[in-house]
């Protein structure tokens, strides 16, 4: 995952969290790559987020990855093509198994007293795809999530997607780099188009001057989205737009 160069002390989890963010790392990465940026940086941008939100970073299982020549590495599901273009072949069974793993994480949070309506799912790259599949692709969803954050991901199993009425109520933030050569930028357009056709009611989509990564500007937008969906501020729907960024601290180290 391409991250900003940021490091800092980890924030302790709130003693009585009001909400939760379940954030899923990308292919070949781990929760440790996400914590400094997602938890610490967002908490620095808005201290109320660290006071109210429990951050959860599940680990992907080690699977043999086709695009890596069968090498075993942290992977939510198999990938058959890289870069990821529109129309890429999906690992249906692997995605469904991964969705079940995230559903189990959600069930743990519900058992702790955090309802689904206060849980945001998010992820980067392959993790974003899994977040989308869990939030919108599960045909058993009876309650919407507080929100879904997809960073540089794609909508898998698009042709067979059937969003439930409850899933359509989950607000979406989708950020993507204009120069992403790993997960092609058009994935954002076609993914959001399909979700809108399914009846998803609130979508916020942003395009950034970067490749396959996360920028400071995007983090500010994520913090604003979290505040909106968790504190139930007035929702908004934005069309895909190109956002000029003066921040140049985006690295390009990933997968």
Residues with catalytic roles: 125, 180, 212
Number of H helices, E strands in the chain: 7, 9
Residue keyed to tokens 């009585």: 16
d(CA 215, CA 220): 9
CA–CA separation, 70 and 85 (whole Å): 21
Environment class of 231 (CB within 10 Å of its CB; exposed 0-12, middle 13-18, buried 19+): exposed
217 near 245, Cβ under 8 Å? yes
d(CA 148, CA 228): 12
> 223, 49 in Cβ contact below 8 A?
yes
């Amino acid at each position: 995952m391409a991250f900003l160069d940021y490091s800092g002390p980890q924030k302790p989890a709130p003693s009585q969290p009001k909400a939760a963010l379940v954030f899923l790392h990308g292919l070949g990465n781990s929760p440790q790559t996400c914590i400094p940026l997602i938890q610490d940086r967002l908490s620095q941008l808005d201290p109320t987020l660290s006071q109210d939100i429990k951050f959860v970073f599940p680990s992907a299982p080690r699977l043999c990855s086709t695009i890596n020549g069968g090498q075993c590495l942290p992977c939510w599901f198999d990938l058959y093509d890289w870069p990821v273009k529109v129309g890429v072949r999906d690992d249906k069974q692997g995605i469904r198994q991964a969705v079940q793993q995230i559903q189990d994480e959600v069930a743990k949070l519900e058992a702790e007293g955090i309802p689904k309506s206060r849980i945001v799912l998010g992820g980067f790259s392959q993790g974003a795809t899994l977040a989308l599949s869990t939030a919108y692709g599960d045909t058993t969803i009876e309650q919407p999530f507080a929100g879904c954050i997809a960073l540089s991901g794609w909508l898998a199993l698009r042709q067979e997607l059937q969003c439930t009425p409850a899933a359509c109520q989950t607000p979406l933030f989708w950020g993507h780099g204009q120069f992403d050569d790993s997960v092609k930028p058009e994935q954002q357009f076609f993914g959001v188009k399909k979700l809108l056709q399914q009846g998803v009611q609130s979508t916020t989509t942003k395009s950034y001057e970067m490749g396959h990564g996360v920028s400071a500007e995007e983090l500010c937008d994520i913090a604003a989205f979290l505040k909106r969906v968790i504190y139930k501020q007035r929702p908004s729907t934005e069309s895909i737009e190109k956002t000029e960024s003066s921040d140049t601290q985006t690295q390009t180290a990933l997968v």
